[in-house]
Amino acid sequence: SGSSSGLQGAAGMVRKKLGNFVGFANLPDQVHRRSVRRGFQFTAMVVGESGLGKSTLINTLFENKLFDLEQRSRNAAPPPGTERGRTVGIESLSSDIEENGVKLRLTVVDTPGYGDFINNDDSWKPIVDNIEARFDAYLEQENRVNRAKLIDNRIHACIYFIQPTGHSLKPLDIEFMRRLHTKVNLIPVIAKADTLTDDEVTAFKRRILNDIHHHQIQIFQPPVYENEDEETIAENEEILSKVPFAIVGSDTVVSTADGRHVRGRAYPWGTIEVDNEGHCDFVKLRQMLIHTHMEELREHTNDVLYEGYRSEKLIAMGVNQDSSVFKEINPAAKQAEERKLHEAKLSKMEAEMKMVFQQKVQEKESKLKISEEELYARHKEMKDALDKQRMELEDKKRRIESGRPPTPDKSGTVSSVD
């Protein structure tokens, strides 16, 4: 890719072959077989002040195959309930694409209105809310009994456009990243990098990274694992060295001085080629997003960002169980509450049934006891009568044996023995 100077003549540049497909079919290398078979979802969000080239970048990324600008502007109606021009809107566009048997549902979420107001203090808020709502929707599916096929609408990458001022980050940029970095993979890019010279880009990148470091903001960085092959390590280090990516977008084809037709921007002094790594970092950004790190971004979203959100939420639920405000805004807490009520009702019913049963048993027992006592009394009566009879008989027997006449009993009558 030759010289690192972006603005010098295009002659002598090695032509970078334009892929005629998007490139995610590389994924068998990245992705587990199961997700390849089932197909998978990838959602990217673009955030930045208007006019920084967000739409253009999306179209450049996906070679205009997915999101033509006309369709996009037709879809750009404000979502119901929001008034365009006063709030940050959220618009998304999905497309199912398939390459070499790999199915991908790609969604790009745009955030028009971000940073466009006189007071942008809360510009980040609707975006955080949207990202959290997507986490909640996923959590809700996970809690269902049938979780066979989860729809993953979580944001896997957030491309944040930095205005090419050449100075440093603006307070709005810092505020946004501070609020978002624990919720989404942040990928900061310098928009319209062709408006800066190479030296300016280098210095700007350094200042941006200093700011990010100073404010302890966690941006997405391709992890460099030691046990990977040298080529992969080198590739990842190369990508890492370009962060934040200096981007040039273009959806038009221009001719170069040496007569090639490339995607780029033509200037009186030469042509900037979008797909030339010597001209800008677009190729590296695309490589990371689509070719090499799509699965990494998805995994990090699921294992770290979503997991953090989920456990924070569970802790909050434990602490705030009695806060009705919390329940109102939190469907999972509300559900747990309803389940608890239902369980309480069930155990109350069970206790009542037990009580009734015990009562019946007791009644029966006391009835039995009474009849037992009656039986016993009757038995005793009969026994006493028998005992008396036996004693009298024995007395008679003794008299007869001794030859004496029977003594008259108390009533004066004489008993006779037959």
| DSSP element (H, E) containing 98 | strand 91-99
Choose, by CB under 6 A, the member of 249, 264, 270, 278 that binds ligand GTP: 249
CA 91/CA 76 separation, integer angstroms: 7
Residues in the chain, how many? 418
**Residue ranges in 12-31 that form contacts with ligand GTP under rule CB under 6 A:** none
- Check residue 286 for interaction with ligand GTP (CB under 6 A): no
Strands (E), 193-328: 245-246, 253-255, 261-267, 270-273
**Rounded CA gap, 291 and 235, in Å?**
12
Select 27 or 187, whichever has its Cβ closest to ligand GTP: 187
Contact 115, 172 (CB under 8 A): yes
Nearer to ligand GTP, 84 or 398 (CB): 84
Shortest Å distance, C-beta 63 to ligand GTP: 15
Bridge partners (DSSP) of residue 10 are none
Question: Toward ligand GTP, which CB reaches closer, 52 or 305?
Answer: 52
Spatial CB neighbours of 75, under 8 Å, sequence gap ≥ 6: 91, 93
Q: Which of residues 43-102 bind ligand GTP (CB under 6 A)?
A: 48, 50-56
Rounded CA gap, 280 and 260, in Å?
Answer: 18
CB of 248 to ligand GTP, least distance (A): 4
By beta-carbon distance, which residue lies closest to ligand GTP?
A: 53
Tell me how far, at minimum, the Cβ of 282 lies from ligand GTP, in Å.
9
| Min CB(130)–ligand GTP separation in Å | 16
Structural tokens at position 20 = 């005629």
Question: Angle at CA 150, nearest 5°, toward 144 and 153?
Answer: 115
Nearer to ligand GTP, 56 or 256 (CB): 56
Q: Return the residue of 6, 23, 89, 112 that touches ligand GTP, per CB under 6 A.
A: 112
Indicate the Cα dihedral angle 315, 320, 324, 329, nearest 10°. Answer: -30
Contact segment (CB under 6 A) with ligand GTP among 188-196, 234-242, 311-319, 383-391 equals 188-196
Q: Which stretch binds ligand GTP (CB under 6 A): 187-195, 311-319, 363-371, 377-385?
A: 187-195
Binding site for ligand GTP (CB under 6 A): 48, 50-56, 112, 192, 194-195, 248-249, 265
